[in-house]
């Protein structure tokens, strides 16, 4: 059988029968209107989308290729390998084959009618070597950075997007429900993490958590128990754990989980590219009182953030308020990390990537807006002993917030 014919005839039906949701054309059009608003302000005649998550956001497909968005007229989707599959997945009308990036200017000329005088590229992620090649290809065109336009556009989510995040949150709920049945004394952290992932995958979790930057890696098996919960690592988080080696010094380790230790499970889930991030605490037998108390403080800080979560509230002010509250509760030196290594955020935007706008953090003086989605994650760390925390992903609604991660908020004792 011919592959392309099979794709044209069968792929959509098979995919839909297995739960695929394609991005509606209206949704893409709304996003492109916002993007064009940003382009107009900066006098950018065309924008070339290269990075995979931006491509998905603006075309509906992640097949290898590039999307050109002119300030006016139909966008042009250029696909390198699987053109027919991209045509099934993306509603972009002009979708053509691309053999190599060298053909991009010619395809623009043919399908758009001209080469833009100013061309926007994602300079926050585009490697230098690729950039230099585009400079050669677009002699006479000014190349400009459009990272901020894309980030600004993506920082508020539509109801279509929030619904996908809700589904990711439901997968998380299943994971935490099963977790109490899986957790056993003497099991290693990494085994527990792996089994939780298996539950998530069975429910449609996509496994890869995406982040936006060189060197920053995300993973789901963040299971820390007792002593490993007190260890900081490479990531900008209150604690990183021990991990499995110097090559992967974060997350679950081969340490066995023991009775009465705090067991922290920070588990991200992903549905149709959209992520939900949440943390719950477990213990085998009763958790030591010190950690129960600290967990209660986390819960109080978490609730205090949600009390302030509505359009117009200032992100930095919310963060600073939690500092004061943590101090009042007696956790000044252990809130958000060990003394000297404390992080400076209580929430991070989340969507297609784990490090999106907004950041509920120091140095982020801007207001919350309806449609923003972020994870709020108070954590308290005692080096040499362990850590506790609570995390949920929320959407900012017209007057307040909606929790997208519905797992029960309590310490799961087995």
Query: What span, in angstroms and rounded, lies between the C-alpha atoms of 235 and 232?
Result: 8
Q: Are 295 and 409 in contact (CB under 8 A)?
A: no
C-beta of 64 vs 152, nearer to a second copy? 64
Supply angle C-alpha 328, 397, 281, rounded to 5: 45
C-beta of 339 vs 413, nearer to a second copy? 339
Task: Write down the least CB distance from residue 227 to a second copy, Å.
Answer: 7
Query: Which of 111, 201, 288, 310 touches a second copy by CB under 8 A?
Result: 201
Query: Which of 71, 107, 137, 198 touches a second copy by CB under 8 A?
Result: 198
Q: Which residues are bridge partners to 382 per DSSP?
A: 386
Asked if 89 is part of the footprint of a second copy (rule: CB under 8 A), the reply reads yes
Query: Which of 8, 11, 103, 406 touches a second copy by CB under 8 A?
Result: 11
Task: Write down the least CB distance from residue 199 to a second copy, Å.
Answer: 8
Asked if 252 is part of the footprint of a second copy (rule: CB under 8 A), the reply reads yes
Q: Which stretch binds a second copy (CB under 8 A): 68-76, 225-233, 282-290, 390-398?
A: 225-233
Applying the rule CB under 8 A, the residues between 135 and 194 that interact with a second copy are 145, 147, 188, 190-191, 193-194
Task: Write down the least CB distance from residue 230 to a second copy, Å.
Answer: 7
Helix (H, G, I), strand (E, B) or coil at 243: coil
Q: Are 334 and 356 in contact (CB under 8 A)?
A: no
Asked if 287 is part of the footprint of a second copy (rule: CB under 8 A), the reply reads no
Distances from the Cα of 270 to the Cα of 45, 200, 253, angstroms: 34, 9, 23
Q: Are 210 and 125 in contact (CB under 8 A)?
A: no
Query: What span, in angstroms and rounded, lies between the C-alpha atoms of 247 and 193?
Result: 18
Task: Write down the least CB distance from residue 133 to a second copy, Å.
Answer: 11
Q: Are 323 and 224 in contact (CB under 8 A)?
A: no
Which residue, 334, 353, 387, 348, is CA-closest to 223? 387
Task: Write down the least CB distance from residue 225 to a second copy, Å.
Answer: 12
Task: Write down the least CB distance from residue 314 to a second copy, Å.
Answer: 25
Applying the rule CB under 8 A, the residues between 318 and 347 that interact with a second copy are 338-341
Which residue, 230, 175, 232, is CA-closest to 202? 175
Query: Which of 47, 104, 199, 315 touches a second copy by CB under 8 A?
Result: 199
């Amino acid at each position: 059988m011919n592959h392309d014919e099979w794709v044209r005839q069968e792929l959509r039906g098979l995919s839909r029968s297995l739960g695929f949701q394609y991005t509606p054309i209206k949704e893409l059009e709304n996003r492109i209107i916002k993007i064009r608003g940003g382009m107009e302000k900066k006098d950018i005649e065309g924008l070339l989308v290269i990075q995979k998550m931006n491509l998905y956001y603006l075309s509906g497909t992640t097949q290898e290729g590039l999307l050109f968005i002119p300030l006016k007229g139909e966008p042009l989707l250029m696909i390198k390998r699987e053109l027919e599959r991209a045509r099934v997945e993306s509603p972009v009308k002009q979708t053509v084959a691309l053999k190599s990036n060298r053909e991009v200017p010619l395809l623009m000329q043919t399908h758009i009618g001209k080469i833009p005088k100013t061309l926007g590229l994602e300079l926050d992620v585009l490697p230098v070597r690729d950039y230099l090649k585009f400079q050669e290809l677009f002699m006479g065109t000014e190349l400009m950075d459009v990272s901020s336009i894309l980030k600004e556009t993506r920082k508020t989510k539509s109801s279509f997007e929030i619904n996908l995040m809700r589904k990711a949150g439901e997968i998380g709920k299943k994971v935490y429900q099963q977790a109490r049945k899986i957790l056993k004394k003497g099991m290693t952290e990494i085994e527990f993490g792996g089994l939780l992932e298996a539950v998530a995958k069975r429910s449609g979790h996509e496994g890869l958590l995406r982040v936006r930057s060189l060197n920053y890696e995300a993973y789901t098996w963040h299971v820390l128990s007792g002593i490993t919960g007190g260890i900081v690592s490479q990531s900008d988080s209150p604690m990183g754990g021990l991990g499995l080696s110097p090559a992967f010094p974060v997350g679950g380790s081969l340490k066995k989980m023991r009775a009465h230790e705090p067991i922290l499970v920070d588990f991200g889930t992903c549905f149709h590219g959209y992520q939900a991030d949440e943390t719950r605490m477990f213990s085998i037998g009763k958790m030591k009182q010190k950690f129960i108390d600290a967990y209660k403080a986390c819960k109080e800080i978490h609730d205090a953030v949600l009390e302030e979560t509505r359009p117009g509230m200032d992100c930095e002010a919310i963060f600073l308020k939690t500092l004061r509250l943590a101090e009042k509760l007696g956790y000044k030196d252990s809130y958000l990390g060990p003394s000297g290594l404390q992080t400076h955020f209580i929430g991070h935007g989340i969507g297609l990537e784990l490090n999106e706008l907004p950041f509920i953090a120091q140095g982020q003086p801007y207001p919350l807006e309806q449609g923003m989605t972020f994870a709020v994650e108070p954590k308290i760390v005692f080096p040499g002993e362990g850590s506790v925390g609570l995390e949920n992903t929320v959407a900012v609604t017209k007057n307040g917030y909606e929790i997208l991660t519905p797992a029960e908020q309590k310490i799961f004792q087995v």
